[in-house]
C-alpha cells in the first residue's frame, strides 16, 4: 500500500462512529470505507491526491466543528499507509473467527473453522475486502437475513445494492443456495473486491457496476447497507425492485436517522416490519420493510 496514504481524523471517543458515518457521506475518499482506531477515524487516498484529500477532509471537519461536533480540522493529518504485509499482520492480531447470529460465521483466511450443520461460512481476506463485515451496520443486515430465513423467506432472487466487498451477497448465497444473487456497486474498486471475494468463497454471485435503475426485474430480498442520503436518493428504484411479498433490508443508518428513512420508504408503498438498533452498538440501526 505504499502508493496510498492514511487520512486520520481524531475525534471524541463517544462520537467516533457518528463522525465516521458523516465523513463517509461528505468526503468522497471516505465513501469507499473507513476504519475506527480508538478515537480516530481512518480512511485512504492515493498518494498523488494527498493534499486534495486533506483539504476536503479539513473542510468537512470544520463544518462539523461549527455544528458542535468534538473535532478540530487542525488535527487532521496524513501518513503513509502500511505496507501490505505489515497491514495483514496487524489484522491478524485482532480479526478472528466471528459468529454473527446463529448461522453466519466470518472466517479470516489465516484461521480455520470446523463448521457445524447449518453454518453459513463467509471467508475473508483483508487484502480482498473493505473491512471484516462485523461493523454494526453489516451485523444488523446479517442478523435480519437470518431471522427472515428462519421465518421461512425463500427468495428466488436477491439483490445487494452498494455491495462493497460482497459480504452480504456471499452470506445470501450461503443462506439461500438456490437463489440467484446479484451485487451492484458504482465503485469499480468495490466491484473488483466483490468479484475476488466471491471467487475466494466459490459463491455464484453476479457482480457489476450496473446502475440500480438499469437492474431488470424484481427480487424477493433487496439489501442496501448505504448511508442515509444515498438511500433517500435511491428510494424509488429500491422500492421498485422489491417483489410482491418481498423484503427490503436497510442499514448504514445512525439511530437518529432510521425512523425518517424508514418513513420515506413507507410513503413509497412499503410496510414497516422491523426498525431496531444494533444490540452491541446502539448508535447504529437498521430497518426491514416489506411489500404486501
pLDDT in tens, 221-265: 999 998 888 899 999 999 999 999 999 999 988 888 999 999 999
Per-residue model confidence (pLDDT) at position 129: 45
Domain 134-290: CATH architecture, name and number where available: 3-Layer(aba) Sandwich (3.40)
Question: Would the pTM of this model clear 0.75, i.e. be above it?
Answer: yes
173/161 Cα distance (integer angstroms)? 15
Q: Is the pLDDT of residue 139 over 70?
A: yes
Quote the DSSP letter at residue 34.
-
At the topology level, CATH places domain 4-81 in Alpha-Beta Plaits (3.30.70)
Strongest mean pLDDT among 15-19, 32-36, 90-94, 187-191: 15-19
Task: For the chain, give every domain's residue range.
Answer: 4-81, 134-290
- Ramachandran angles phi, psi of 195, nearest 5°: -60, -45
> 253 forms bridges with which residues in the sheet?
285
Amino acid at each position: 500500500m505504499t502508493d496510498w496514504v492514511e487520512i486520520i481524523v481524531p475525534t471524541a471517543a463517544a462520537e467516533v462512529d457518528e463522525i465516521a458515518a458523516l465523513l463517509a457521506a461528505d468526503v468522497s475518499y471516505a465513501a469507499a470505507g473507513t476504519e475506527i482506531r480508538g478515537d480516530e477515524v481512518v480512511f485512504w487516498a492515493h498518494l498523488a491526491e494527498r493534499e486534495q484529500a486533506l483539504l476536503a477532509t479539513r473542510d468537512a471537519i470544520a463544518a462539523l466543528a461549527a455544528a458542535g461536533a468534538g473535532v478540530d480540522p487542525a488535527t487532521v493529518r496524513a501518513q503513509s499507509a502500511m505496507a501490505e504485509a505489515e497491514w495483514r499482520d496487524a489484522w491478524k492480531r485482532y480479526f478472528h473467527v466471528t459468529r454473527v447470529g446463529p448461522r453466519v460465521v466470518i472466517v479470516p483466511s489465516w484461521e480455520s473453522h470446523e463448521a457445524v450443520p447449518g453454518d453459513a461460512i463467509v471467508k475473508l481476506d483483508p487484502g480482498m475486502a473493505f473491512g471484516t463485515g462485523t461493523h454494526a451496520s453489516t451485523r444488523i443486515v446479517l442478523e435480519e437475513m437470518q431471522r427472515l430465513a428462519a421465518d421461512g423467506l425463500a427468495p428466488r432472487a436477491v439483490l445487494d445494492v452498494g455491495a462493497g466487498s460482497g459480504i452480504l451477497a456471499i452470506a445470501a448465497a450461503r443462506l439461500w443456495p438456490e437463489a440467484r444473487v446479484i451485487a451492484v456497486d458504482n465503485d469499480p474498486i468495490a466491484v473488483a473486491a466483490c468479484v475476488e471475494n466471491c471467487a475466494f468463497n466459490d459463491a455464484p454471485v453476479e457482480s457489476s457496476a450496473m446502475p440500480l435503475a438499469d437492474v431488470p426485474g424484481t427480487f424477493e430480498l433487496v439489501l442496501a447497507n448505504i448511508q442515509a442520503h444515498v438511500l433517500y436518493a435511491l428510494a424509488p428504484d429500491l422500492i421498485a425492485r422489491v417483489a410482491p411479498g418481498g423484503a427490503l433490508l436497510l442499514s448504514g443508518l445512525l439511530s437518529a436517522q432510521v425512523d425518517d428513512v424508514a418513513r420515506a420508504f413507507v410513503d413509497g408503498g412499503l410496510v414497516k416490519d422491523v426498525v431496531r438498533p444494533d444490540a452491541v452498538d446502539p448508535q447504529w440501526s437498521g430497518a426491514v420493510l416489506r411489500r404486501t
